[in-house]
A and B are shown apart, each in its own frame.
Chain A
Amino acid sequence: MTLNDFRTLKDMIEAKNVIFCYNGYLSQEIIVAVSSMIKGKLSSDETKMGISQKVLYMFVEQAQNITRYSPDQIQNPDQASMSYGSVAIGTEDDKFYIMCSNRIEKTKVAALKEKLDLISSMSPDELKALYKEKMRSEAEEGSKGASVGFIEMARKSSEPIEFDFLEDDETYDYFTLKVVI
């Protein structure tokens, strides 16, 4: 990368009103540090507390999804595990957007796509009913969270969640998600 390349990259990020973006290995320690930065930045901007709490919520859910489910992980015996992915937070039209991207095994795409298609088509009342149902049930197999993260993100989002899956290679696709507050 030349100095100009780097400036072009920086300019593109700034043109999208990005508050924070990260592309690399994420760990719980990094999530904690970035959460602290988000709180400080939004507080200094006098963002309403209800809004900044939602931004923080979306960021942590998305980043923890990467640390839990990204297939590109490094396990060091004496360190917390790290997982590769991308996260961005910014503003457009006076709203916050929070996005994430990570690779996903092709074998897992159909189930996730089905879940997200369903969630993104639901009305607020339907989402609430599904949310309560998931709260009462056991976590889904293979889930390290509570299987309610996507539903809560959809409920807190002011616009329908956007997502897609793009071909990476014969084993993996790229999963990208965007929510707006």
Chain B
Amino acid sequence: MTTISATVTTPKIVLDTHNNLFSFEGESYPEDVNAFFDPIMNPLKTHLKNLQDADIQFDFFLTYFNSASTKVFFNLFALLEEITEFNRVTVNWKHHEEDDTAEEFGQEFKEDLDNVRFNFIAI
């Protein structure tokens, strides 16, 4: 299990590849989004592409993220939809009850996902 601690501009990330439980929690607006996310997302995507008949769960609780981070998550969600062909994928999109901006971002991600089970959890 890999745990990457949060910084003021990057989220806490937990990658439990044994149980296929993944979480992203916090804020995401690093100056160079690709420099931060590429080393995390590239091996994660490789892992996900190799899964078969697995139960995969992603928990997101992002309180703030910039446009470049949005694209990183958008690409991840596209891959999650792809791998539903061989797996069961659940995304739990957590947001503060009053934070309709974060909720709207979740809605937009969900629109493109037909086979990922996408849950909204207001906190």
Residues of A close to B48: CB separation below 8 A: none
Least Cβ–Cβ distance between A129 and chain B, in angstroms: 12
CB of A166 within 8 Å of the partner chain: no
Report the contact-size class of chain A (Cβ under 8 Å from the partner).
Answer: 20 to 34
What distance in Å separates the Cβ of A37 from its nearest Cβ neighbour in chain B?
13
A56-B64 contact given A50-B99, A50-B101, A148-B71, CB 8 Å threshold: yes
Q: Top 3 A-B pairs ranked by shortest CB distance?
A: A146-B71, A50-B100, A53-B101
Would you call B9 and A28 a contact (CB within 8 A)? yes
In the complex, which residues 13-65 of chain B have their Cβ closer than 8 Å to any Cβ of chain A? 29-33, 64
Given A60-B29, A64-B29, A64-B31; A53-B70 close (CB under 8 Å): no
Are B67 and A49 touching (Cβ within 8 A)? no
* With contact pairs A32-B8, A50-B101, A57-B101 given, residues A148 and B96 touching in the complex (Cβ less than 8 Å): no
The answer to whether B70 and A135 have CB atoms under 8 Å apart is yes
A133–B78 Cα distance when bound, in Å, is 13
Assuming the contacts A60-B29, A67-B31, A135-B74, asked whether A145 and B67 have C-beta atoms less than 8 A apart, the reply is yes
Report the separation of the CA atoms of residues A135 and B4 in the bound assembly, to the nearest whole angstrom: 26
> Is A53's CB under 8 angstroms from B64's CB?
yes
Would you call B114 an interface residue if the criterion is a C-beta within 8 Å of the partner chain's C-beta atoms?
no
A108, CB-defined interface residue at 8 Å = no
Q: Mark A37-79, 1 if CB is under 8 A from B, else 0.
A: 0000000000011100110110011001001100000000000
A57→B98 contact, CB < 8 A: no
Tell me the complex Cα distance, A136–B81, Å. Answer: 14
Decide if B68 touches A49 in the complex (CB within 8 Å). no
Q: Does A160 contact B (CB under 8 A)?
A: no
Among B31, B74, B98, B101: residue with most chain A CB under 10 A: B31
- Tell me how many residue pairs across A and B have CB atoms closer than 8 Å: 67
A149, B101: Cβ atoms closer than 8 Å? no
In the complex, chain B residues whose CB is within 8 Å of the CB of A60: 29, 64, 66
A152 at the interface (CB under 8 A from B): yes
The answer to the question of A16 belonging to the interface, with a C-beta cut-off of 8 Å to chain B, is no
B113 contacts chain A at the CB level, 8 A cutoff: no
Partner of B102, one of A35, A53, A148: A53
- Residue A113 is within 8 A (CB to CB) of chain B in the complex: no
Among residues of B, the one whose C-beta sits closest to the C-beta of A32 is B8
| Residues in A neighbouring B99, C-beta threshold 8 A | 49-50, 53
Q: Once the chains are docked, how many angstroms separate the CA of A126 from the CA of B56? A: 34
Instruction: List A residues 147-181 near B (Cβ within 8 Å).
Output: 148-149, 152, 156
Docked-complex contact A61 and B101, CB < 8 angstroms: no
> A115 in the interface, Cβ–Cβ < 8 Å?
no
For the complex formed, measure the closest distance between the CB of A181 and the CB atoms of chain B, giving whole angstroms: 10
